[in-house]
Amino acid sequence: MTRGPARRALAMFMAMAMVAGAAPFIRAAHDGAAPVGSISVGDGSGYATSLTVKVHVAATDDVAVTSMRLSYADTLVDLPYAPSAQITFPYAGTWGVGVTWFDAAGHGTIASTQFTIDTTVPFIGSVFLDSDDDPNDASVRVAVQNAGDDRTQLTHVRLRSNGGAWSPSYPIPGGNPRLLDWAYLDPAQGGTNVLGGRSLGVQVRNAAGLWSAVLTKTINFMFEERLAMTVSGDQRTGHVVTFTPKLPDGAVLPSNAICYWAMLWGDDQSLIYGNRNDTFGSIETQGTKAKGYCKPWSVTVPWVPLRQFMVVFEAQGSAGQIAGARLGGSPDDPAFEPGVDGTSRHITSSNIPMVYVLPESYNLIVGQPATYRAYPLAGETLKSTDVWSVQYIDTPERKLGGSSFTFTPKIAGHITVCWHGGASRTYLVAACFDPPARYRDTTAPNTTTPQVGFGSGYSQGSVPVQVTWRGTDTGWGIASYRLERSVNGGAWSRVTLSSAKATTYTERRAYDLPVRYRVRATDKAGNVGSWDYSSSVRPTRVSDGSTGLTYSAGWTTVADPTAYGGLAHESSEGGRSVSFTFSGRAIAWLGEIGPSFGKARVYVDGILTWVETGAVTDAPRRLLYRKAWSSVGTHTIRIVVNGTAGRPTLSVDGFAILR
């Protein structure tokens, strides 16, 4: 900027104002003081935006101000006094203006000021969104790149969304680019709470008050796969749960939004790595916000073979994807894993239109026709243009329309069967299922002979008896076991297992009453194996005072109303022992546990096992030690007091034997 004209104008003004004979004056005897005034340009900010400026030169005098002399841009002008004057400068820059006021007596007063004329609007090179430390908050970092002004400093910036109201003027930060956080969801800050594509308008202002031209940037505000998703309701199969994507506070989807929902289930290979196998199934549906597809999804959770679900939500606007949320789908993203209540494979309700498919049987057999059916919900309908497809290895089959699809698997392996809405539908609706196809299984499964021993617990007129077995199948695998019992030679009756494939069963049986068990398996192809029978076993109790028990010295008989017969043997001396030789297929040592009881060394046929009988509270008639064999034989059990410090006592209330 050239300041020379300003200095020359002021110097010339001062010299000429001192020439006494510049004008004839008649001095009045009573006017003894010079005028008093001030000078400013424009709004007084020190800046002007036009070459023609208004100079404020108001002055007062005890008699009257009669004339004034202005000096600017190497020019002197004598004028009758007026409180203001218009001055035109030759070009923009920093200028000086001087004034001398004269009264009737010839007294003069000098004043001057400087200001800058800036007639050029500032400029902006570009605008973009910078990285944001928290992508889910309600602000975004705007970067104003290469903004400036030829003459004056930039002072403020403002923003607006989609041509709406401007935000307040933010003091513009320094640096390049200039970064500022913008509350893009707040209309009072020039934003809008509607997500999606929008036009971001930016202006900068210089010190002279000139705003730049509006620079418009088209931006898509999106939250792809960053949003949380909550689950509410009874999270078990057969019950309705609600999945809700959590948009930023105050944010809404645009009215033209299209929303996509998907529910997929399977193992990690299917959901995380995309290697679909026979655990996989899916439902997909998509539609407009106006038709309710963008609201939280309430749906009945079906029973499926593997209850590991991935739930996906996506929203799109005219500029592309806006928001995304999901449960599952990566090793670090927990899946939705409901508990089991209902066992129906059907989805009985949904608040969003959808279609799901199910095979009539999970056992697809090579060479045997298999049928799938489509089930519409929430107002969805099936059309003749819908497409059924089945994908083998490079051997696709297709069919148009219909609520069912029957095909014959040609090879073994997992087969993806899908239904999806055809070309006549505006938006996506689809479903798939991946059961395996196998060659027919005609081989019955096998089971081992049930082994019977004692279970854990206590003895009181009855004793816990445990039955165990194993099963094998060379075909599709075992689906279930059936266990039955016969008491004292009576009819066989079925017992209820803890699960279809349980291989252990425990129940209480009365002493001296024979019982026998049998088990068989059914495989996944429906083949039923033969019965395998246990021996008939009879629980027998041997009292602690029986002649068959041999006690070393140091044992005492203790009166105890909780013991059998009101008596038990106890010892607190380390090394004291009791031995018992018996014939049977299982043995259990009966005694008491509690705070004063300690460890024992138990030898069965010479093999040592340590047994802990200490407990917080006393409990009598416990099965302290158990051992079983596959057949009846003669064995010896020897129990030795360890003499544990502070709790040395051992209790012997007898033994239980299975013969």
Residue among 335, 329, 136 at smallest CA distance from 247: 136
Residue that the structure tokens 């005072």 belong to: 545
CA distances from 323 to 221, 253, 261 (A): 9, 9, 12
Confidence bin at 132 (pLDDT 50/70/90): low
Residue pair 299/236 in contact (Cβ under 8 Å)? The answer is: no
CA distances from 604 to 173, 190, 333, 459 (A): 86, 86, 52, 21
* Residue 441, CB-side half-sphere exposure with 13 Å CA sphere: 22
Instruction: Calculate mean pLDDT across residues 484-500.
Output: 97
How far is the first Cα of the chain from the last one, in angstroms, to the nearest whole number?
116
Of 110-124, 253-267, 326-340, 607-621, least confident by mean pLDDT is 326-340
Instruction: Calculate mean pLDDT across residues 449-478.
Output: 96
Q: What is the pTM of this model?
A: 0.66
User: Counting runs of H as helices and runs of E as strands, what totals does the chain give?
Assistant: 2, 53
Residue pair 187/165 in contact (Cβ under 8 Å)? The answer is: yes
Task: Say yes or no to pLDDT of 147 above 80.
Answer: yes
Give exposure, 516-541, as e/b (b: 16+ Cβ within 10 Å): bbbbbbbbbbebebeebebbebbbeb
Q: Extract the tokens encoding 172.
A: 């513009």
CA distance 468 to 470: 7
- Summarize pLDDT for 413-441 with one digit per residue, the tens: 888 899 999 887 888 999 998 888 889 89
CA distance 320 to 197: 8
Confidence bin at 174 (pLDDT 50/70/90): confident
Q: What share of the chain is helix, strand, coil (3-state, %, to 5)?
A: 5, 50, 45
Task: Say yes or no to pLDDT of 6 above 90.
Answer: no
CA distance 633 to 630: 9
Residue pair 497/475 in contact (Cβ under 8 Å)? The answer is: no
- Summarize pLDDT for 85-99 with one digit per residue, the tens: 999 999 999 999 999
Instruction: Calculate mean pLDDT across residues 628-643.
Output: 97
Q: Extract the tokens encoding 156.
A: 């403020």
Give Cβ neighbours of residue 624 (< 8 Å, ≥ 6 apart).
Answer: 588, 589, 590, 591, 593, 600, 611, 613
Task: Say yes or no to pLDDT of 263 above 50.
Answer: yes
Strand 196-206's sheet: what is its strand order? 170-171, 154-161, 196-206, 215-221
Which pLDDT belongs to residue 583? 97
Confidence bin at 394 (pLDDT 50/70/90): low
Which pLDDT belongs to residue 223? 65
Task: Say yes or no to pLDDT of 16 above 80.
Answer: no
DSSP-derived pairing of the beta strands 354-359 and 370-377: antiparallel
| Distance of alpha carbon 145 from the chain centroid | 36
Q: Which amino acid is at 132?
A: D
What DSSP string describes 359-404? ES-S-EETTS-EEEEEEEETT----TT-EEEEE-SS-EEEEES-SE
Angle, CA of 397, 401 and 404, to the nearest 5°: 75
Residue pair 495/483 in contact (Cβ under 8 Å)? The answer is: yes
Of 242-256, 373-387, 466-480, 522-536, least confident by mean pLDDT is 242-256
- Summarize pLDDT for 317-345 with one digit per residue, the tens: 888 888 899 998 888 888 999 999 999 99
Of 309-318, 345-354, 409-418, least confident by mean pLDDT is 409-418
